[in-house]
Structure formats: structure tokens, C-alpha cells
Amino acid sequence: MNVNLSSKIKMNITHKSIRTITGLLCLVFLLTVSSCDEDKYLQKVPPTLIEAADVFSTPERIESLVNGVYASLKLANFYGGRLLLFSDVRGEDFINTGGNSFTGFDAWNHSYSSGAADILNVWSAGYSTINKANILIDGIAKYPDVVTATVATQYVGEAKFLRALSYFSLVTVFAQPYNKDGGASPGLPLRMQAETTLANNDLARSTVAQVYAQILKDLDEAEAALPANRGTTAGSLLNTTRVHKNTAIALKTRVYLNMGNYAQVIAEAKKIAPQAVAPFSAPAATGVAHALQPNVVTVLATDYTTTESILSMQFTSLDMLAGQSALGYMYYATPDYILNPTQIFSNPQWAATGDTRRGFITRRVVSSQNRDYLNKYGTAAPYLRYMPVIRYAEVLLNYAEAAARVGGAANLALAEELLKAVHKRSDAAYVFPALDQAGLISAILIERRIELLGEGFRSNDITRLMLPFPAKTGTVYSTPAVPTDAPSYIWPMSNDELLNNKLIN
Amino acid sequence: MRKQLLTCVALFFTLCLYAQDRVVTGTVKDNGSALPGATVLLKGTSKGTATDADGNFSLSVPSDGTLVFNFLGFRSQEIVVGNQSVINVTLDPDEQQLAEVLVVGYGTQAKKEFTGAATRIKASDVQDIPVQSFDQALIGRAAGVQISLPNGVLNNAPVIRVRGVNSISQSSYPLFVIDGIPVTAGDNLGTTTVTNNPLADINPSDIESIDVLKDAASTSIYGSRGANGVILVTTKRGKEGKAKVTYDGWVGWTKAVRLPDLLGAEQYMEIKNEARRNAGQADAFFPSYNADGSLVDTKWYDYMFQTAVSHNHALSISGGSAKTSYFFSTNFSRQEGFLVSNEFDRQGMRFNVDHELNKWVKLKAGINYTNSENRAPNSGSLDGNAQGIIGAARMAYTLSPNVPAYNADGTPALNMADANATIGNGANTVVSVYYNPLTLFPLFKNKSMNDRILANGGVTLTPLKGFTFTTNYSIDRLRVDNVSSAAPLPGSSGYSTKGSVSNITGIINNTDFSNTLQYETRLGEHHITALVGSDVQKFSTDQWGANVQQAADTYFTSYQGTWGQISSTGNVLTSKSFLSYFGRFNYDFGSRYFLTINYRKDGNSSLGAARKWGDFGGVSGGWTISEEGFYKDLTLANTLTSLKLRASWGRVGNGNLGPYASLNLYASGLNGAAPALGISQAGNADLGWETGDQTNIGVDLGLFNDRVQVDFSYFNNDVSGLILGVPQSASKGIPNNSIVANIGSLYNRGIELAISGEVLKKSKFSWNASFNITTLKNRVTSLATEGSRLVSNSSGNPFNMTEVGYSVGTLFGAVTNGVNPANGRRIYINKEGKEVQYSLVVPAGDFQWSYLDGSRAAAITAADYQPLGNALPTWYGGFSNTFKYGNFDLALNFTYSGGNYVLNGNTGTWLDQRYFNNSEKVLNRWQNPGDITDVPRLVYGDNFASANIPNISAYIEKADFIRLQNIMAGYRLPSPVLSKLGVNSARLYVQATNVFLITGYSGVDPESSINGNRNTSPGVEYNSLGNGRTITVGVNVGL
């Protein structure tokens, strides 16, 4: 090869320089390439979730937080329906045919252990609703200027109502009845502050009486804080899906009834049923004009926002429950419960024909037997019927029972009038026999089982009166009576509490 | 690639040749095929050459010279030239030498210079094992690495634990780095029904070697990602020479094994009606008859399990020139599981290329595309599925044998009164909630499909002598489609909603950009290597989907049909990053003294705002005593040929956190039509790193000229700042009742011993064996507060607990003390230590829960539960043997483990006193006063004493076992046959996996884990499928 020496040297120098420069560039590159904006890599916020610091930043978000408490109340294992089913099937009016612990068999069979999924779920659903209410109350105080004072007051009232309803639901299944000993029994841990940190894990139970006192305090404050009406037209959606003054009053009739404080039931009921004779209705001047509707089937099956539905859980095709979370599935579609033929189903007070409420029952032939199923929550997916939480009919029956128990001619007459208002709305032809005080109370209790069948009242109606749970005999499963002193008379506390809260006994 | 480097070196020598003496020519071969790039050196000089593409060489040498033939991975050979002018050489493979280079983080290292703890697994050990992903084939291969298959469903991620459970709530899955790409691994990307192990996207045949890094000194270069060990996978690359073509294929058959013996129809009716009568209820189980009058006695196993047929094919073409080499492969796999309708398909291609642009610039690039799809019915074997009514294992155990599978008209027997048309009930008056597998399996379909691209490109520059700059960019882009389709037809779980189809599609993107600069120099006996680098990793998940119900026509089973209802489901949008700087310094003196220092600084976006950065690193040292002059004079040196001491200490982190773990978050939803917000995560702004301080002390021995090699290590890993979901009192109402915090510490201590070598070699016969054993002690040393106990759930049941003084995930439950011979009730011990007996149904005046004197007792609750046994093996290992005789080879791979307990929750199902079928064990039930048995009196509906709450001490069993994991017999076709066929090499083999199991465990499989890799819930078998037995025949062909 004929190469000029100088050019060869030059080439070498050039090569060497290129390589040296490249080497230096490499170093620079290495040191700088990833030290670019650290924040870009390390400070990440989720694009579909909102950080705590921002949730109280706008009126819209606070409104959403309020709706969030309702959404929590509507969890499948709470007022979404399963808790109501558990409560009903603990009573004597249903027979379990499935034996499936995922559809409430252990509630029916009185065989819950503290680790049962239903126990864990109901306990957690209740307390998660309570915590969301507490977070709302706490946040509104911490961010006072985002919404007006009026709106803030209303929101706090709503939160208190929802907290009260949650505590009431829990205390009536997880603690001894108030009437056992005037509320002296151990109740629930009473969580009254927002919990989002590791602190405050241990908290002892308050007594049943303390829990009731808190519920009533919340409801009284809610009544004062809540708006009288959420819509100008009758049947406004929000008057059924959000709470207002009368909702708090209505719930108080339920709470006082549980405590055997009949005078207070009457006092509260009078606010929304001031009449002495039918038709009863809440005065429009002070709030939503609640009244019984002509057809109860319509109220529950098609027209969910009448003035009879004081509070209901709303479902839409984007916000609904399905399968074993849906009552329509468990009562009707799968179906795991038949109406106990020997109980309320065949009670003479419930005419086999002519009572509109028989429309909630469908007879089908299963295993060559006639079986009667509750269709109150629909018969096929999707299950979009609103879940009733408080109906005016219940308030009237609470009122009737309190009046009947207090006694005296006027009260007994009023009680009978209230009972008939509820009964004759569905069966005008029915003629009650002559009713003395005891007979009247008994008729009212039967009426509750007919009118509120499947709406979650039966367990509490048994325990508040300190009655044993009757034995149930079915074709496949049977379960013995549960006396009031049996451990299974109430539900065991959740393992999630027992294992983690050291002050729980 | 190494071949290539040698080629370069050889070429350099060639250029320096002077014409002299005479010319010798020849060919270098390895057992048949030519070896291009082998070096031929004149001994004692720097004179030499390299073989060309056909293995030929030509070299001028003096006649008294000696030629040394070298090729990496082969034993070198010396030949005296004498008067020969043609010298043909066949080199023998040297497996030991192959093992002598280890792949370490961001580079390679000679094993003799390595002072950490690592194990290399060769491709040949794993490539013919019939699995879906290569990690499943590593069982028993490496000391310290415990791998088990949690169940027999296809494409499960195995449970992998390198030196024990090193975390409680974070993943204990090692980091997998494939050709420098840290890949998505370990997660189940499928649904709760169908599994999807992302490592199955790697074709096992493409793997060249697997290196497992075990101690912090080796893994700390990966900083916060190295806490659970690092598994480095190197795939095959092209070598200089003419194109080589290989084909590997097998076909196999799989069957279920160790299924329990269940009751037949008559026994079933007898047992169940006895339970009914004991509960004071009328008989409810009655015979059904076939058309021919015979009793219906359905063997449901026959409708749910099958002899599965699988086949797998892999083809590769590789080769290269002096400057450029390439490797291409393609594979196709179609596998069936022993569970009916469980299927796995994979097809993929890999291409990579290496190119030397000039003396100082080298380029490499590779791309791998894989499409895999797994289809499965709900097996009941995945996390959270143990008690589902559509779980196949539970169905197989519990379906009533006296119920017909088909109606008289040949259609599947269904209960049309049920909204979903569940299984028919025959003549039984009890209604079953289960489905008929004849309709459920075909009508409820689940699949998880991956489209995966793994690609990387890199440049290596050597601008100045000793300096190497490497830049690498890699992409792991994975698209996952999960489809769950329940047909709108009777007997499908979606019948009541007129069908239900969910399609969820997601992109899981993971990119990594790393840059390193290395300097290496030798000054006399000093050898220094220093490396600095940076690494940026970004992970993002973007997933969305929809569920449709209410089919317009019963024909529709796919999302694209017409549906009356649609709602969103499966939405995930997250991202997280790691930002890292690291360095490594290696120093050795005279190949006797070694020192390595590692450091890495890691930033992790998941951690609390002020705690994102962590410092990790390690130091290790070694002393090769056998290289010392004084040692070589010892007589011991004749036996103990090599002796190296090594020790290391390091700190690593565990950054496998959810992307936003430290934040308090609120999720949006709907209340009716109104927007709703609610707390979805209570975070912890103080969340910091979980770190492990790992000590490793070891010795490497070579005996009898290194024919036998012994690796011994002691390790101690102290993990502190454990990130735990601290269980909160449920009354706090916090989402999931849990908040993450750094609140604990634990350690893993143990020893590892690996012995391998040539046991025997006599002419045509050889026996190589490799044995490893690891002992492990795992203890939790502190938790949030004194005496706190973390209870972890399996499908909602508190089966495990973690507490100071115990191993992670210790089994937990009620202590029992047999069955009361007087009345057949199971006896429990409550927390006061008193004996309490239980019967669901009792006569008036008696109590469900009573003391043995008959007085009322409180029910046993979780408050009475006690620790019932360590669930983590305290010893485990493998023992593999390879025998060769002429062209025959035989390999046996045993695995064993023990010292732990397993909860045989199946027993609960097998004795369940609802309408469930039972195993034959139930025949030992208590019947009469005085009966001594471990099966209580049968009471219909009993959900507690024997059944649905199975965590009782009576069901805790020892898990010790020995398994013949693989046996393989092969035959290499002899050369005359091969040449007639025109192929280079061909081997036929027969192979079997899970051949037998020796264990005292009475459940299905002692390695079962219904919670997969979840650290806190090991050792539970409950309504899950065991592993099948697979027999394959296969062929390896080289062209």
C-alpha cells in the first residue's frame, strides 16, 4: 500500500480525536441523560383517582362526596339489599331451599360464625359508610368556604342522618336488643371522627344505650339541618334518593319504637301524620307531603319516587347490583327462598285473593311442588327496582303500634285507623274483627309482616320485642327455634374487628 | 458472541504472521460439525490462526512445534506437529468451562473472579421439559431457589422464592432480566379465572443460559429491584460460520394424578341420608335410574378431567460472518390441560443480530414477538376462588353421584327452575347450587391473550483503550386481552342475565434506558474494572373494558353481538418509574485476592413524597487459596484442587409497590345517575423503602482436578422496614381495612450446599450428578406493635397469620382434640385451654357448643385460633443425574422439600355435610357411642365441625416429600445414519414429569398453594387441582 506518511499520521490523529471526543461525549451523556427532570419520573399522581388534598376543593366534589356516602349505604351487603334479606330470612316467613352460604343460608339457619363472609361484609359496609360520613363532616369543617354555610349545614345534616341509619342497622343485629336491659349491654365501637391514618385502631365498645343516644342526637341535628324539600314537584327524585327533614323524623319513629319509647314515636309521627283519621299525609307546609299511594305494587315495582317512598336506594343500568348481590336474583331467579306456607303467607289477615300485596308473590311449580316466591325485587336481570329504606306505610305502622301500646281510647282508635289505612289501601274489602288492645297490637305486628315483607324488618321486630326466633321446617332444610338467651340470637362480631381491635371484648 | 470475540483475537494474530517453516492444514470439529473461529496457536509463541467458516485452518509451523487448539466451551487440545502436514482435531465440550462465565448485572464476570452467590442453569436442563414457561422448568435446579407449581392449571406463575420469603406484603418474586431487559413477570395478568404468566411469552428453546443471583453483593447493582434475587436469562445468538438449523419438537400426554376416591351413588345416599336423620330431617337423597333400569352412578371426574394432548415445536436458523451474526427462531406450542377445556397456545418469533461496525463500535439488536393465549374454565385453584360454585376442583369433588349427567333424551341434566339452570337434582329433594360441567365448561369461556414485543437495541463503544461505553434501550410492550364469556343459554352462569361477556384490553408498557461506562485495566498482577451507569425505567398500564349483558339473541357469546346493557369494567390507568444511578468496582490481585464494591441510588415514584430515594450497595471479597504458592506445594492440593473463600455483605430494597401506595385517594363512582366520590385508599405519606441487609459467606471447592465441585454458602438476610398492609379495625371503615406502612422486620437464614461432578467415566459410560440442598429459617422479628398478629385470608378465611417469633404466614386456626367417643362431636380447645364440643343440631336442653360436661360454652371464634404450624419449607433441594452410554442418555431430576406443614383444607370439602359428595374417608364416621374415629358424627347442614371452616389442627399435615420431577431417556442417532439422512445431529427422547411423589401428605399435592405467590398465605390446599403427570416424546435435530 502506497500511503503518504504524513497523511497516515494525520488520519491516526483524526481517528484518535474522534474517539476521544466520543469518549468524552459518552461520559457527559451518561451523567446527564437521566438526570433530566426528576419530578417527571418520581412525582406521579393517578389520572383516575383524586388525591385527598383535592377532594374538598370544589362545590361539585363536595356534592359528590355526599353522594358517595349514599353510594356506600347502597353497598350490596348493606342497604343495597343483602342486609335486608338476612334480616327477613332470620324470621319465620321464609324457607331456605338452597343451603347456600352465599345467599344467606347462615342467616336463615342462625349459624353464623364471626368469620363468615356475610358478617365481615355487613360490619365493614356499615362502618365504611360511617367513616365516609365522618370524613364529610370533618372536611366540611376544614374547608369552610367552598360551599355556602347553608349548603354546608345541609350536607352535615345528611351525613349525620346516614351515620345514624348505619349505626342503627348495625346495633340492631350485632348487639343485644335495647329492650333486654335498657341498653346496658355492650354495643358497638362508636366511631365519631374521620379515620384515614394508622392512629386510633383500638376502641372499646360503647353500650347499646350510648349508641342509641348518639343515633337520636344525630337524627335530631339532621332534622334541624336538612332541607324541608328537595324538589318543587311531587315525586321529585331527590326527595326519595336524598334525605330531608321528614326522613329524619320518619327514622326516629323507627328508633324510638325499638327503644319502647312509644310516647316519642307518637310525638315524631305526629309531625308527619298529624291527622286523627285517614287519609294520613305529611303537611306540605313543613316538608315533603308524604302519603300512601293507591297501589303499593306500583310504588315498589314501577313508580319509585312517589311521596310514599321516603328514602330508597336508586339503581340505574350503570349503577346496579347483579347475581348474588341482587335481591331479585336470590328471592326469585335462583331461587333460594320460598314463602313459608305456614306463616304470614297463610295468615287470615292476608286475604289469599283480593289483597293487592299478593301481587308480590308468584307461584311456580318446583320439584313437583307449588312454591311461592317473593317477586318484590323483580324476576329477571337487570334488577333496577329501587330498594326501599323508609316508606310512609312503615311510619304509619310504627305510629299505630306506639299508639296501641300507649293505649287509651283515643290512641286505640287512632291505632286502628292507622292500621286500616295501611291494610285497606291494598284490600279494601277486608273486615277486621273487633280488636281489643292486645288484638290490635297483634294485628299491627301481623300487618307489618304483610306490608313490609322482604323489606328487612322481621329480625328486628322479633328482637326488639325479645321474642324467640321460631323454628322453621322446610322440605330440605329445617332449623330449630332460637331462644332469646342463645348466643345466635344476635350476630357475632366480625373477625376483622375481633382480631385487630385490642379493646374489643 | 464469545466465539466471535475469539475470532477477532485470532484474526489479529493471523495478521502478525511471518512466513516461516512449513504449512500445516486441517479441520477443527466438535463431534461432527465444523467449528469456525477456533484458535490454533503455536505453543509458547503468540503465533497462531483461527479456523474459517468451515472449520479449516492453515498455519506455518516448525516441525518441533506443538499446536494448541482452543475453542470456548471446549477442552483445549495440544498436538505435536512432528511430520504431519494435515492435522484434524475433534474438540470435546467442557461443560465446566462453560459454567465459568457468569452473567451479572450489566455485564459478565469469570466465575473464578466472582465473590457473590450465583448459580448458572444450562439451557439443556430446561429446554425439553414440557411446560408453558421456562421458570416452571427450573424446579430443583439451583441451590437456594425454591420453585413449586401451585396447581395443575396451565400457565400458572410458579411460586419462586430465592432464599426464602423476603417480604410480607410486597412481591417475593425475583426480578427477571432477559438479555438486559427487566421484564414484566410474576403477576397474573389474566383474570380471577384464567391465569396468564407473562414469562410464558419467552420460548424456552431460545434460552442459552439462566443465571440466578442470590446475594446482595450480586443483586445490589439492581438496587431496589434485587431484594428477591435476580434471574438473568441469556437467549441464544448467532455464531460465526455457515447457517445452522435446529428443530426441537415434542408431543405429550397429561393426566390428573392423586385424585381422591369419592363415594359412589349408593354410599353417597347412605351417608347423606344418615346425616339427614342425625339432624332430625327426612331423607332427601334418592336413587335415579338409567333407561336400562340400572342405578345412576355418575363419575363426574370423567366429565371434567381428560388425557390432555400437547405438542410443541421450535425451529432456529443462526449463523454469521466475521463481523455480523444473526439468530432467528420461531416456535409453536399447543398444550392442553388435564382439566377439560383448559388450553394454551403460543406462537412466536425471535430475531437478533450483532454487528461489528469497526474496531470500536459494535451494535446489537433483537426483537421477539409472541402471541400466547390461555383458555380455562374456572378451576377454583386461583387466589380467592376456593369456595366458588363454578370452581372445577370443588365441583369434581362435590357433585352428587346419584344424579345423572344427561337426561334420557341425551341433553345435559339441568334444573330449569333455577335462573341459571344449574345442575339437575335427579330424585334428590335437595337442590344443588352447582352447575352441570357438561354445560358450564362449553358455555362459560375465559381466555387471556398476550401480544408481546420484547425488543432492545444497543451500542457498545470502545473509544479509548480500556473504556467501554454501552447504551441500551429496551421495550417490553405487552398487550393483554382478557375475555370472559358466559353464554345466554341454560346451564351457563350467565343464563339469568341473558349472557354476560366482559372484554378487557390493556397495554402494559415497560421501557428501560440504561447507560454504562466501564474501564478495565491490568497493571502487572493488578486487575481493575470499574463501571458507572444510569438506568431509567418507566412502567405504565393502560387498561379498559366493558361488560355486556342481555343478549338480543341467544346466539351471541361475544362482545360484538347485540346487547341490551353495557357497563364499563376493568379500567386501570397507572404509571410509575424508577430512576437509578449505580457503580461497581472490581479489583483482583494475582487472581488470588478479589474485591467488588457495588452502589446504586434508586428513586421510586411509588413512595412517600420525601422518601423516594434509597441507597443500596454491597461489598464482597474472595481469596483463592489454591492459587497461592504455598498451597500448591501441599499434598492436599492433589485432592482439593481449588479452594476459594468468599464473603459478601450488601443492602437491597424491595420496590415492588403499587404505583400510588403512599397517597390518600378517592375514587369516583355513581349514585344512581349522580357522580359520587368516596375514599378508596388510605395512604401513608411516610412510606419508605423496605430494605434487606444480606450477608453471604461461602467456599468453593474443586476436588480431583475439579472433577467434583462443591459450593457452600451461609446466608443471613435481615429485612427491615417491611412494608405491610397493616390491618385496621374494621370499625375504622378504611378501604380494605388496611393501610401500608413500614412496620416490621424479619430474617431468612440458612445454608446452601451444591455438589456436582462426574461420578463415573468409563470409556463409553459416564455418570454426572448434581445435588443441592438449602436449609432455611424464616422468622419475623418485629411488627408494628408488641404482640400484634397479622391475620391473612384465603377466599375470606383466616387461614394464616404472621407474628413475631413465627415464620411468615404461619398456619392458623382452631385447635381440635379429636372426636368425643361418647357422642361423636368434634372437640375444640378454646383460648382458655378448655375442651368444647360442637354439634349443629342438638336435642332440646342441649347446646350447640358445650363443655364436655354438657354445660353451655361460648362458640369457637377467631379469638380462639392458635398458630398451627410453619408453612414454609425449612429444607429443600434437588438431585439430578445424567447417565450416558454411547449414544444413549438418561436423566433423572428429583426434588424434595420439607420441614413445613400444609393445611389440607380439602378434607373439609371431602367431609362436608351438605349435599356435597365426600371422599371415602367419611366412611370412618362416628356412629355409635364408643367409636374411636377422627370423623365426627354426621349432621346434615354442618358447616363448621367438618366442613366449610377447615382451618382446624386436625387438618394440618406435614408436607415433606420427594418427587421425581423429571425423567428423560434419549438416543443420539449415530453418524452413518445421520449422513444418510443429511442431518448433522438428531436425538430422540422420551420424558416424563411429576413421575411419582413420596409423601405422607394425604391431600392432592403438598406443594399446592391456593394463593399463588402471596407471601402471607402459603401452605394452603383447598378445593384446588393438583399437578398432572405428563409424558412426552420428542426430537432434537441439527441441520
Contact A97 B471 (CB under 8 A): no
**What band does B942 get if pLDDT is binned at 50, 70 and 90?**
confident
Q: How far does the CA of residue A367 sit from the closest CA of chain B (Å)? A: 7
Q: Tell me which residues of chain B, numbers 360 to 399, contact chain A at a CB-CB cutoff of 8 Å.
A: 360, 389
**What band does A20 get if pLDDT is binned at 50, 70 and 90?**
low
**What band does A234 get if pLDDT is binned at 50, 70 and 90?**
low
**pLDDT for residue B945:** 52
Q: Which residue in chain A has the smallest CA separation from B846?
A: A486
| 3 state SS of B202 | coil
Instruction: Answer yes or no: are the C-beta atoms of A5 and A13 closer than 8 Å.
Output: no
Kindly report, residue by residue over A361-382, the tens digit of the pLDDT: 999 887 778 899 999 999 988 9
Kindly report, residue by residue over B242-270, the tens digit of the pLDDT: 899 999 999 999 999 999 999 999 999 99
Contacts of B741 in chain A (CB under 8 A): 198
Nearest CA-CA partner of B321 in B243, B244, B245, B240 = B240
Contacts of B735 in chain A (CB under 8 A): 128
Q: For residue A142, what is its C-alpha cell?
A: 376544614
Q: Tell me which residues of chain A, numbers 410 to 439, contact chain B at a CB-CB cutoff of 8 Å.
A: none
Kindly report, residue by residue over B759-798, the tens digit of the pLDDT: 888 888 999 999 999 999 999 998 876 567 888 888 878 8
Question: Within chain A, how many helices (H) and strands (E) appear?
Answer: 19, 11
* CA B164 – CA B776 distance, rounded (Å): 7
Instruction: Answer yes or no: are the C-beta atoms of B402 and B424 closer than 8 Å.
Output: no
Q: How far does the CA of residue A134 sit from the closest CA of chain B (Å)? A: 10
Q: How far does the CA of residue B551 sit from the closest CA of chain A (Å)? A: 12
**pLDDT for residue B81:** 83
Instruction: Determine the residue among A201, A305, A366 to mutate to test chain B binding: the one whose Cβ has the most chain B Cβ atoms within 10 Å.
Output: A201
- Tell me if chain A has a CB within 8 Å of the CB of B309: no
Contacts of B737 in chain A (CB under 8 A): 124, 496, 500
Q: Tell me which residues of chain B, numbers 931 to 960, contact chain A at a CB-CB cutoff of 8 Å.
A: 941, 943-944, 948-949
**What band does A101 get if pLDDT is binned at 50, 70 and 90?**
confident
The alpha carbon of residue A371 and the mean position of all alpha carbons in its chain are separated, in whole angstroms, by 29
Nearest CA-CA partner of B549 in B590, B495, B596, B512 = B495
Contact A71 B536 (CB under 8 A): no
Residue A294: pLDDT above 90? yes
Count CB pairs under 8 A between chains A and B.
Answer: 332
Contact A19 B360 (CB under 8 A): yes
Angle at CA B600, nearest 5°, toward B598 and B604? 155
Kindly report, residue by residue over A160-188, the tens digit of the pLDDT: 999 999 999 999 999 999 999 999 999 99
- Comparing CB atoms, the residue among A99, A114, A203 nearest residue B729 is A203
* CA A397 – CA B251 distance, rounded (Å): 74
Q: Which residue has the higher pLDDT, B950 or A400?
A: A400
Say which range, A463-477, B49-63, B532-546, B868-882, has the weakest mean pLDDT.
B49-63
Which residues contact residue B293 at a Cβ distance below 8 angstroms, ignoring those fewer than 6 apart? none
Hey, what amino acid is at A88? D
Neighbouring C-alpha atoms within 13 Å toward the C-beta of B520? 9
Contact B737 A500 (CB under 8 A): yes
Residue B21: pLDDT above 80? no
* CA B890 – CA B888 distance, rounded (Å): 7
**Region B602-612: what's the mean pLDDT?**
83
Contact B671 A106 (CB under 8 A): no
- Comparing CB atoms, the residue among A42, A49, A316 nearest residue B612 is A42
Q: Report DSSP letters for B171-184, one per residue.
A: --PPEEEETTEE--
**Region B743-747: what's the mean pLDDT?**
90
* CA A239 – CA B1007 distance, rounded (Å): 58
Helix segments in B364-489, DSSP class H: 392-398, 437-443
**Region A26-49: what's the mean pLDDT?**
69
Q: Tell me which residues of chain A, numbers 314 to 353, contact chain B at a CB-CB cutoff of 8 Å.
A: 314-319, 322-323, 329, 332-335
Instruction: Answer yes or no: are the C-beta atoms of B946 and B911 closer than 8 Å.
Output: yes
Contact A42 B676 (CB under 8 A): no
* CA A468 – CA A461 distance, rounded (Å): 11
Instruction: Determine the residue among B484, B539, B671, B841 to mutate to test chain A binding: the one whose Cβ has the most chain A Cβ atoms within 10 Å.
Output: B671
Cis bond leading into A279, ω under 30°?
yes
Instruction: Answer yes or no: are the C-beta atoms of B716 and B698 closer than 8 Å.
Output: no
Q: How far does the CA of residue B950 sit from the closest CA of chain A (Å)? A: 12
**What band does B143 get if pLDDT is binned at 50, 70 and 90?**
confident
Average pLDDT value over all residues in chain B: 88
Contacts of B669 in chain A (CB under 8 A): 68, 71, 319
- Tell me if chain A has a CB within 8 Å of the CB of B798: yes
Contact A26 B535 (CB under 8 A): no
**What band does B123 get if pLDDT is binned at 50, 70 and 90?**
confident
Q: Which residue in chain A has the smallest CA separation from B797?
A: A115
**pLDDT for residue B478:** 93
Residue B530: pLDDT above 90? yes
Contacts of A492 in chain B (CB under 8 A): 859, 861
Q: Report DSSP letters for B968-989, one per residue.
A: EEEEEPPHHHHHHHT-SEEEEE
Q: Tell me which residues of chain A, numbers 116 to 145, contact chain B at a CB-CB cutoff of 8 Å.
A: 117, 120, 123-124, 127-132, 134-135
Say which range, A179-183, B395-399, B506-510, B1010-1014, has the weakest mean pLDDT.
B1010-1014
Helix segments in B789-914, DSSP class H: 906-910
Q: How far does the CA of residue A271 sit from the closest CA of chain B (Å)? A: 30
Q: Tell me which residues of chain A, numbers 180 to 209, contact chain B at a CB-CB cutoff of 8 Å.
A: 188-189, 191, 195-198, 200-203
Q: Please list the helix, strand and coil fractions of chain A in percent, rounded to the nearest 5, in that order.
A: 50, 10, 40
Q: For residue A383, what is its C-alpha cell?
A: 334488577
Instruction: Answer yes or no: are the C-beta atoms of B753 and B776 closer than 8 Å.
Output: no
Angle at CA B871, nearest 5°, toward B865 and B874? 140
Residue B99: pLDDT above 60? no
Q: For residue B824, what is its C-alpha cell?
A: 361423636
Instruction: Classify residue B1031 by burial, with Cβ atoms within 10 Å: 0-12, 13-18, 19+.
Output: middle
Question: Within chain B, how many helices (H) and strands (E) appear?
Answer: 12, 56
Residue B497: pLDDT above 80? yes
Question: What do you get for the CA distance between the two ends of chain A, in Å?
Answer: 99
A198 membership: H or E segment, kind and range: none
* CA A308 – CA A273 distance, rounded (Å): 12
Contacts of A377 in chain B (CB under 8 A): none
Q: Tell me which residues of chain B, numbers 416 to 455, contact chain A at a CB-CB cutoff of 8 Å.
A: 417-420, 425, 429-431, 433
Contact B660 A45 (CB under 8 A): yes
Which residues contact residue B936 at a Cβ distance below 8 angstroms, ignoring those fewer than 6 apart? B819, B824, B825, B826, B925, B926, B942, B945, B946
**Region B148-155: what's the mean pLDDT?**
86
**Region A48-73: what's the mean pLDDT?**
95
Angle at CA B228, nearest 5°, toward B702 and B698? 25
Contact B549 A381 (CB under 8 A): yes
**Region B448-455: what's the mean pLDDT?**
94
Residue A36: pLDDT above 60? no
**pLDDT for residue A314:** 95
Per-residue CA distances from A447 to A163, A197, B732, B897 (Å) = 29, 47, 38, 66
Q: How far does the CA of residue B387 sit from the closest CA of chain A (Å)? A: 10
* CA A327 – CA A334 distance, rounded (Å): 10
Contacts of A42 in chain B (CB under 8 A): 577, 579, 603-605, 612
- Tell me if chain B has a CB within 8 Å of the CB of A264: no
**What band does B3 get if pLDDT is binned at 50, 70 and 90?**
very low
Hey, what amino acid is at B643? L
Task: Count CB-CB contacts under 10 A for residue A279.
Answer: 10
* CA B1008 – CA B1024 distance, rounded (Å): 8
Nearest CA-CA partner of B622 in B500, B548, B527 = B527
Average pLDDT value over all residues in chain A: 91
Task: Count CB-CB contacts under 10 A for residue B243.
Answer: 12
Contact A55 B670 (CB under 8 A): no
Q: How far does the CA of residue A238 sit from the closest CA of chain B (Å)? A: 10
* CA B173 – CA B185 distance, rounded (Å): 8
* CA A443 – CA B33 distance, rounded (Å): 100
- Tell me if chain B has a CB within 8 Å of the CB of A253: no
Contacts of B789 in chain A (CB under 8 A): 499
A13 membership: H or E segment, kind and range: helix A5-33
- Tell me if chain A has a CB within 8 Å of the CB of B515: yes
Q: What is the DSSP letter of A274?
A: -
Q: Which residue in chain B has the smallest CA separation from A474?
A: B281
- Comparing CB atoms, the residue among A43, A100, A366 nearest residue B417 is A366
Contacts of B731 in chain A (CB under 8 A): 123, 127, 188-189, 191, 203, 497, 501
Per-residue CA distances from B1034 to B31, B155, B970 (Å) = 22, 21, 9
**What band does A7 get if pLDDT is binned at 50, 70 and 90?**
very low
